[in-house]
Amino acid sequence: MDEFEKMQAGEWYCCLDPALDTRRLRVFDAVHAHNATRPSARGNIAPELRAVLGTAPDTARIEGQFRCVYGVNIHLGDAAFLNVGCVILDSGRVEIGARSMLGPHVQIYCADHHRDPKLRSELIERALPVRIGQDVWIGGGAIILPGVTIGDGAIVGAGSVVTKDVAPGVTVVGNPARVVTPSRES
């Protein structure tokens, strides 16, 4: 298997590989086109960016100053919304469910670097998926770590660092994120 195939399979791979560099450069150009296009002309997602994403329905929206690495691993549900400055390091599959909202500068990381310092110095990593259910709200500046699943209807407080799975319908806050009793506002 080549390094991209290893990455897609969730196996250990070397992240600095000429073929991966070529893939990333194509995506970086598409991201640049999206971010450089006037919002009135861009629509929900610029065509260049939409072309490199795995799944991006017409109703999904990505605001400017967005960043991603491979694009193909990003799968957006209907009416998913990514606010300004979101970063998705999508070496692994990233699913963002229908009607989920990510606040400004939310960061999603899939790369899990090797624990062995020698292998880490050789840039060996693996890609773990991140799954965000439907109707999730992730507050600005939150960080979602590799391998995390966030259940339907959950809320992640602004600035939280999510290191473990979040059950459906709960609210988590803090670093590391922990469950808090959700308020029942009417």
Residues designated catalytic: 113
Taking Cα atoms as reference points, which of 88, 89, 79 lies closest to residue 44?
Answer: 79
Q: Is 174 helix (H, G, I), strand (E, B) or coil?
A: coil
Asked if residues 57 and 40 have their Cβ atoms less than 8 Å apart, the reply is no
The C-alpha atoms of residue 156 and residue 111 are separated, in whole angstroms, by: 21
Q: Is 129 in contact with 119 (CB distance < 8 Å)? A: no
CB 74 within 8 A of CB 54: yes
Which tokens belong to 146?
């590799």
Phi, psi of 77 (to 5 degrees): -85, 175
Query: Tokens at residue 110, please?
Result: 């899939």
What's the CA dihedral at 94, 140, 78, 73 to 10 degrees?
Answer: -20
